[in-house]
Amino acid sequence: MTWHVNTQVWEAYAAGGLDPATAASVDAHVVSCPTCREAARGHVEPVTLEVVWTTVSDRIGRPVLPLWLRPLRGLGVPDDDLVVLSTASLLLPWAMAVGSALACAMLAGLMPTYQETTFLLLAPLIPVLAVVAAYDSTDPFREVSVPTPYSKMRLALLRTVAALVVAVPAAMAIGLLIPGLEPLAFRWLLPALGLTLAALLLLTWLTAEVAGGAVCVAWLVAVATVGRTYEVDVLATAAAQAGFAVAAAVLAAVFLIRTSTLRLLGGDL
């Protein structure tokens, strides 16, 4: 170094009295000069350094969130989770949830003879479509989860909950508002839970389109098969609901194992 910051310049710098060009020159010089970095400690109060560092750390570490997520921060949701939600495009899954709910309501209303069948056929698929759309709007779950050190299980649950927060009320409104469907208003929840878990599990192997299509086709075939032998509303009986609960528990256990122990594309899930 051919020059160093003298005492007068340090005093003016600490007092904020330097013009912008000179202050920038001092900043650039201190970066490459160990002697001046050490000298700076004697001219800037430690309290000032602490305040500056805390301000910089807070601004960098505390992300700027979309308006719709900021109330969640006040409820105690960690910033890490809020950042994950802010990076996911939720407009598509929410639009899918509302659109499929409206389609289900219209079909159930237009076909009163098959109202219950239509509702039990379509309502459980509304959350599935919303969840699949939450991943399709970015990447399949396996590709999203591999490069990030964030908990893969937590990532999956956050995206899923964000999609279901609109899908479940939309589907539930159909059963509560359309006359004649009140007895079935909550009977679709366990089938929907099982189908959603099945879709999440398939997303660890397949793309969103294939996983969603496979689940939807499997459910339609299952309902059609049941309809040939029994009335479709047998799916709403206590025995059937218990079966759906057991299936959901098994799928949840498999999904937990899949996301916590297996490796995909070189990354731990």
Q: How many whole angstroms separate alpha carbon 97 and alpha carbon 91?
A: 10
Q: What is the three-class DSSP state of 263? A: strand
In this prediction the pTM is 0.67
Same domain, 27 and 121: no
Same domain, 47 and 159: no
Task: Classify residue 236 by its DSSP letter.
Answer: G
Task: Classify residue 65 by its DSSP letter.
Answer: P
Confidence at residue 264, expressed as pLDDT on a 0 to 100 scale: 43
Strands, E assignment, the chain? 263-264, 267-268
Same domain, 184 and 104: yes
Confidence at residue 259, expressed as pLDDT on a 0 to 100 scale: 75
Instruction: Check if the beta carbon of residue 63 is closer than 8 Å to that of residue 136.
Output: no
Name the domain count of the chain: 2
Q: How many whole angstroms separate alpha carbon 205 and alpha carbon 207?
A: 7
pLDDT tens for the chain, 269 residues long, are 567 888 888 888 878 788 888 888 888 888 888 888 888 777 766 555 566 566 655 555 566 666 666 677 777 777 667 766 666 667 788 888 899 899 888 888 777 777 888 888 899 999 999 988 887 655 545 555 555 555 666 777 787 888 888 899 998 888 888 887 888 888 899 999 999 999 988 888 888 888 899 999 999 998 888 877 777 778 888 899 999 999 999 999 998 888 776 444 344 44
Confidence at residue 179, expressed as pLDDT on a 0 to 100 scale: 82
Same domain, 178 and 228: yes
Q: How many whole angstroms separate alpha carbon 9 and alpha carbon 3?
A: 12
- Per-residue b/e over 53-92, b at no fewer than 16 CB within 10 Å? eeeeeeeeeeeebeeebeeeeeeeeeeebbebbeebebeb
Q: How many whole angstroms separate alpha carbon 150 and alpha carbon 267?
A: 11
Q: How many whole angstroms separate alpha carbon 193 and alpha carbon 184?
A: 15
Confidence at residue 86, expressed as pLDDT on a 0 to 100 scale: 67
- Would you say residue 70 lies in a domain? no
Q: At what angle do helices 208-229 and 115-122 cross, to 10 degrees?
A: 150
Question: Kind of pairing, strands 263-264 and 267-268?
Answer: antiparallel
Confidence at residue 88, expressed as pLDDT on a 0 to 100 scale: 60
Residue ranges making up the domain that contains 251: 78-268
At residue 98's C-alpha, the angle toward residues 97 and 103, to 5°, is 100
Same domain, 21 and 117: no
Nearest Cα residue to 241 out of 197, 166, 184, 199: 184
Same domain, 121 and 214: yes
Same domain, 86 and 38: no
- Would you say residue 68 lies in a domain? no
Nearest Cα residue to 169 out of 194, 191, 186: 186
Radius of gyration of the chain (CA): 28
The DSSP string of 156-216 is HHHHHHHHHHHHHHHHHHHHHHSTT-GGGTTTTHHHHHHHHHHHHHHHTTS-HHHHHHHHH
What does the block give as tokens for 72? 């969640």
Same domain, 148 and 187: yes
